[in-house]
Structure formats: C-alpha cells, structure tokens
Chain A
C-alpha cells in the first residue's frame, strides 16, 4: 500500500473524518499562524519595541 493510499484511507475516505480534520487543522493553523507572524514581527522590529528597551528605563526593585 503506497503512502498516498494510506493517506487517503486515513483522512479522506469518510467525510466526517475529512471535515473533522479540516476543522482541527484550521484551529491548529490559526494558532500557528498567529505565533509565526508575532515571531516574525518581533525579529523584524528587534530593539525597537518597549519590551526590548524596558530594562534601560525601568529598574526593578
């Protein structure tokens, strides 16, 4: 049994499993997308955000 057939039998054969996989994937994708975009934003603006320069101005007592 080839890989694609295994894949087909695991996810696509039953519509309920297919739709469930799609929704679960959408949930995971949404979280992952948010995390990835925030990571990229933080690296792109490194040293410019308040959380990067906070230690220069605020002294923790």
Chain B
C-alpha cells in the first residue's frame, strides 16, 4: 500500500504553487485589489464581486508570510491534514439508469444444447455434401461400364490346336497366343537366357508352359512380327529384321526388349483365356 501511494504520488503532477496547510495556494504577489477586466459576458457592473463574503466571515488577507485565508464559520483543521490536488473530473458514482432486461433474456443453459445441435447438424450436412461431391467427381473420371467391357477379351482355348498361332485384337493391338508343343517348351527352357539382350526366363513369361500369350507389337518400332519365322523358330519382324525365339524373347536384330506379356488369366472351368 505504501509503495502504491509512492507510485501514485510519483505519477501525479505536483502543484506548481505551494499550498498552505489550510489548502489555499500560496501566492504572495497576488493583487487582491485588482479588478476583473471588462468582460462583455459578465452580467452586471464591473468591479469587485458582489457575492464576496463579508469581512467578518473571514476571507483572504495578505500578511507578511503571504496569503492567509480565514474562515470563522467552520473549524480549521488541526491535525491529519491532507493536501488536495486539483482534479479535472469527478468520479460519477451512479451509472445511467439501464432498464432491467432480465425478464426478456432466455436462459443460456437451456438453449445452449439446441444451438450447438443446430451448428453440428449443419456441419454434418455440409461434410456429407462435400464428401459426396468429391467422390462423385472422382467417379466421373473412372472408366464407364462399356469401356470396361471392351477392355477384356475372352478366347476359347479348345479351338487352338497344338503348335498353332492365333492372333486376336485386344485394345486395338494384336495379341499372339501360341499353343506350344512339348519340344518348343523344352527349346525355350533350355536356352541360356542370361546371355540374352533382355534376360528373362521362360518361366517368368508364361503362366502355363503350353500357352504363350504376348502382345504382337515389335519392341523396336511397333510393327507386327510374323509368326513361325525367323532364325529361332519364333517370330520375325519384317520391318527391320528382329528375330524373336519361341518364348518371344528378342534374340537378333534391332529390337531392344522381349515381346510384352499382357495381363491374362486362365478360366479353368470353361477352358478359356481372359486377357485384360
């Protein structure tokens, strides 16, 4: 508390005029006889104030030590004197009258759950709408049913005799299907595939050894090779002379890679081949 008072004194501007213990400013050079200057706003005649207190009731007088104010009608303070500072404003104790609205106010406790429920419901619907918009948009980019139906090709394997080639069209490209004989399988498996240009074992290229399925597009520049031709008994590309063996591996000529193997499955029950 004491420190607070000290701080309060420090920030409060001290009066520029020394005050007497009675609270009257000490102004020794004040001319009490001076008249107020002519003021058109002042009503009545100019001169000393008419409402000044009479001499017997006290008043300000000049003494050797300065101005002294005496008031006979009240008792002058004797002890515990506190100096008053000049303030420009007076704290107003009573606030302006505000009507009592409490009768019109709803109870926040009872309405709170409903308010949050409404906010939450809006959130639920918005999130649901946003989710369905995104998923519908993504679905619009998926392949349609007719495209998916065309993307697969079924081949009846019973119609292909052993040692014969069949070329079918799948997604606009030719697909070679060869029913290999046992000697062809042995030839494909016995070759030293590690020294080939695109080393690949025959076991990795076929799912069943007697059925060789691959894309009939030459890996060099995209011609269609001729079956049962070439130096290795497999395929031969007439455009630039690439030779493929009985497993479709590039053996000679400019082809850099083996013939591509598409994704296919065997349908065991109906003896069918499904490409795609």
Contact = CB atoms under 8 A, between A and B. Distances in A.
Interface of A: 2, 4-5, 7-8, 11-12, 18-19, 21-23, 25-26, 29-30, 33
A28 B79 CA distance: 83
B192 interface: no
Interface stretch (B19-27, B122-130, B214-222): B122-130
Given A12-B116, A22-B123, A30-B132, 4 more contacts: A4-B109, A12-B117, A18-B116, A22-B120
B112 interface: yes
Interface string B84-118: 00000000000000000000000001101110110
A29 B124 contact: yes
Contacts of A4: 109-110, 112-114
Nearest to A25: B124
Residue from the set B110, B116, B128 with the largest chain A CB neighbour count within 10 Å: B128
B128 A8 contact: no
B131 interface: yes
A4 B109 CA distance: 8
A22 B132 CA distance: 15
A4 B113 CA distance: 5
Given A30-B131, A33-B128, A25 B113 contact: no
Interface of B: 109-110, 112-114, 116-117, 120, 123-125, 127-128, 131-132
A30 B116 contact: no
Given A4-B110, A22-B123, A11 B128 contact: no
A5 B109 contact: yes
Contacts of A33: 128
Given A30-B132, A33-B128, A7 B123 contact: no
Nearest to A7: B113
Nearest to B109: A5
10 tightest A-B CB contacts, nearest first: A26-B127, A4-B113, A12-B116, A22-B123, A25-B124, A26-B128, A8-B113, A7-B113, A30-B128, A26-B124
A12 B110 CA distance: 14
B120 A21 contact: yes
Q: Among A12, A18, A22, A29, find the residue whose CB has the most chain B CB atoms closer than 10 A.
A: A22
Contacts of B112: 4, 8, 12
Nearest to B126: A26
